[in-house]
A = this chain, B = another copy of it.
Amino acid sequence: MKEDIGQTLIGLEQAALDRWCRGDPSGFLEISAPDVVYFDPFLPRRLDGLDALTAYYESLRGTVRADGWEMLNPDVKMIGDAAVLTFNFASWAGSGDRYRWNCTEVYRRSPAAQGSAWRIVQTHWSFTGGE
């Protein structure tokens, strides 16, 4: 059961990543909660809330394009109605450089009355170092 949820969440994430890498941020926005908090390496501080994330992502719409990407070694920890998905990520365009990332997504299951949907409440993207 737990493994199924883990696979479901990995699938959700991969579907959103696929859209992201074609310039479409809506995949992530559709599965982010109203109170989502967000970090990436380009921002001077944490973004708080879906409105702020929407404004930011809309400013990037159509600007991101990757020809390929890979989710590496995903791990899901289930804690009741919370799930912590972590993975390394690589993306590339043409024969150019590979970009390497660290990612943490925390998903929260909404109450049954609200459809028991899993929504992202925390996103943290950063560059992988070393090597």
Contacts and interface: CB of A to CB of B under 8 A. Distances in A.
B86 A128 contact: no
Given A45-B128, A84-B122, A104-B122, 14 more contacts: A41-B126, A41-B128, A46-B73, A46-B86, A77-B106, A79-B121, A80-B81, A82-B106, A84-B106, A84-B121, A86-B124, A102-B126, A106-B106, A126-B127
A130 B46 contact: no
How many copies of this chain are found per oligomer? 2
23 contacts: A39-B86, A39-B104, A39-B126, A40-B129, A41-B126, A41-B127, A43-B130, A44-B131, A46-B73, A48-B75, A77-B106, A79-B79, A79-B108, A80-B82, A82-B82, A82-B84, A84-B106, A84-B121, A84-B122, A102-B126, A124-B126, A126-B127, A127-B127
